[in-house]
Structure 1
């Protein structure tokens, strides 16, 4: 598509919208930004764009006439495709792209695209680290915090790109075609937006909808939803498994990560040689090995990178030890399944901080995963009562309510004994209390440092 002939409207004036506007501006394509906040500080937004770049604004309540005025819409992932601004363009059969689709229109090189309910950030960061062992030009982008749009014009035919892609971003991909895609797992999350698990799973699987038989999709054999995706994939499916001895794929046998291909076995490294905690990270490593092997990275380079890699921020991140108590920041545990992995990684009696925004999740399996490890559960936010009720139903009664995050931290410090761990792994999004999980995690770490003095 020739974008230079189009009048383009960008919905959303946040980091994604600004990234899209900047990319189009650098490519010599003017665009307007729409935002529902009619009091938006236009000068502040414009100041975040490249110097000298002009941008126009459409502000306030959305009017359908805008879909007549503009030829296509670039939709920020925070805005659902079911919102009026998107529906107005769909009804008129005008293109609705997201930031991933837009960036891939300009990007060059080979793309490894990673999605899944949990483990995306760690796996994407690890994939980036492995790619850097072999490729000279590597970009790690997407939902990991660096908009793909911000670097698309910097890529070359020799570049390798690791992209973490959320279900929100996948709603608006059309011709996006990665060299290697991966769906790590699918468990209930974001059902307030996607409605049903079937829609949510299909959205995840759409990461590979434009791939061909010469390309690869890496799938988790141990997850029944992702395992079933192999049957309908247009790309060549490669399975990984932590639990099963596959005839082909990436496996963990005893303590050794192994690539099995065409009757050959290629050991990579052992669990004793890595620095990541928890069996969930073994799955992330298996996935990353598969992704990068099929991106052309030699096994010895994969081994070197996996052995050096340490945990990403906000994912079971050790913060400090204060008065004999270990503090772990797992703020990225924004749904029950992710939080189960957080508590499973703990090896000490644990004071657990949970609760936050209500994404219509259920908490039974999370509570069941406590397995006697959790001494106290401190709950806060919109989901506090629902979590407390679930805990009581499952026979766990050491639940304490906190009105604020700071109060929750004070209670945790008071209840923790030397030899315990305090774990922030909320099983909920941060919205309503914090802008995002990163801010929540940073506040947790700041308070821990104050405890230490």
Structure 2
């Protein structure tokens, strides 16, 4: 682990518990920092709080005491979800105290090089694809970040011969200072999290942090089909590796209907690829480019492309039954994601959609409903989605009481060769605690057919 001495004796406030806060507090304490943890929620006998206190970490729960920053802190490490208008964060910045997220710690201590993946969509799929390519290519990858494993805990154990594959959100990147991955990937840019960032420009600037500190010896893989990202690419010092879905290009990685090309030369036939959808082709191109730049051999890359069928709940192939293919896209909690799912298939689709009613319009889906032969609607938006589907010319429309009921009703509406797709275009919270539980219930219902 690098930079132990840098943190030794430092007085650090960790703001927010959760997984990243607990991991950051334990790490900093272990390398000699004086650590105080502050969380707005009451501890309620939390085992992690108890463990931190037993280790000698000061933990203050139940609110932010007035004057907490008067304790002479050198650094604040905040949970990525805590907004910058939080009074403690705001005051720390006013006082000139650095405010980091834990991926800055990851960079500072890691012996291993980092590949950082960001983007509005596709981060998890790209991260997972790349991890599998590097793993089969015997590059000793470690997966970390927004995908579920706290990155500073991974970096604490990483060795020089490892590669950390890090999924990085805009929330995490906004709290960086020196963060400099060896390879960075920016998959795409669409308006998102504007309630947190305040504007489209601030959101894009946060994403740009993935490459802003890179040098010419580093690589920036980016979506050359989006002018907004091209504009930011012009400002990086890193060696630029563009990717494009608009046909063969002379430099970078590109694709047409037939194949994938590396610096203009044929690399992989598209017939090898298992993962459906144009949006997933973005993820495939960026992951493949990073794998090539990391020294991965072509056989390892082809192995993954010919076998990888999707991350759980993200266009995940579930099974084929009597000629029907079932896909779980429960992560599609908005119309943009469902639009991508609908364009992934050429044949007829039986769509399962609906969920939490936030009053959002479904109109964005209208041009993409042409292959939808039937719809089964569920959740709070069931009636509204049914009306929308009817206005799109869909003839077979049913309402379902539950996921089990939806799957049971979908099957008779399908024929051999059809796709039965769960892509709700709505959040899950009307019926489920999260989209993962919703997707698991869909898988269970499919298996019960």
Calculate the TM-score normalised by the size of structure 2.
0.87
| Cα pair distance change 1:324/1:130, threshold 3 Å | closer
| Cα pair distance change 1:322/1:269, threshold 3 Å | closer
**2:241 pairs with 1:238:** yes
Indicate which of 405, 410, 430 corresponds to 2:405.
410
- Offset at 1:338? 2.3
* Partner Cα distance (1:355, 1:367) in 2: 18
Structure 2: segments with no counterpart, 5+ residues: none
* Partner Cα distance (2:425, 2:116) in 1: 25
**2:151 pairs with 1:156:** no
Per-residue displacement from partner, 1:369-395 (whole Å, max 9, x unpaired)? 2224152252535x7788678768867
Contact 2:318–2:328 (Cα < 8 Å) also in 1? yes
Could you say what secondary structure the match of 1:292 adopts? helix
| Cα pair distance change 1:275/1:154, threshold 3 Å | same
Q: Which residue is equivalent to 1:350?
A: 350
Larger mean Cα displacement after TM superposition, 389-398 or 31-40: 389-398
- Offset at 1:292? 2.0
CA RMSD, Structure 1 to Structure 2 (Å)? 3.0
**2:17 pairs with 1:22:** no
- Offset at 1:229? 2.4
- Offset at 1:410? 1.8
Larger mean Cα displacement after TM superposition, 337-346 or 109-118: 337-346
* Partner Cα distance (1:130, 1:446) in 2: 29
* Partner Cα distance (1:363, 1:354) in 2: 10
* Partner Cα distance (2:187, 2:427) in 1: 20
Q: Which residue is equivalent to 2:70?
A: 68
Could you say what secondary structure the match of 1:333 adopts? coil
- Offset at 1:180? 0.9
Aligned residues: 440
Q: How do residues 90-105 of structure 1 correspond to structure 2 at under 5 angstroms? A: 90-105=93-108
* Partner Cα distance (2:419, 2:109) in 1: 47
Contact 1:351–1:412 (Cα < 8 Å) also in 2? no
- Offset at 1:141? 0.9
- Offset at 1:147? 1.3
Larger mean Cα displacement after TM superposition, 113-122 or 315-324: 315-324
Could you say what secondary structure the match of 2:125 adopts? helix
Per-residue displacement from partner, 1:237-257 (whole Å, max 9, x unpaired)? 211111133221101133211
Q: Which residue is equivalent to 1:427?
A: 425
* Partner Cα distance (2:75, 2:179) in 1: 17
* Partner Cα distance (2:140, 2:116) in 1: 16
- Offset at 1:44? 4.8
Q: Which residue is equivalent to 1:446?
A: 444
* Partner Cα distance (2:355, 2:423) in 1: 9
Could you say what secondary structure the match of 2:421 adopts? strand
* Partner Cα distance (1:95, 1:386) in 2: 48
| Cα pair distance change 1:432/1:94, threshold 3 Å | farther
* Partner Cα distance (1:389, 1:73) in 2: 50
Per-residue displacement from partner, 1:129-163 (whole Å, max 9, x unpaired)? 12223444311111111111221111122221111
Contact 1:77–1:169 (Cα < 8 Å) also in 2? yes
Could you say what secondary structure the match of 1:58 adopts? strand
Contact 2:259–2:269 (Cα < 8 Å) also in 1? yes
Could you say what secondary structure the match of 1:207 adopts? coil
* Partner Cα distance (2:397, 2:373) in 1: 10
Structure 1: segments with no counterpart, 5+ residues: none
- Offset at 1:25? 3.6
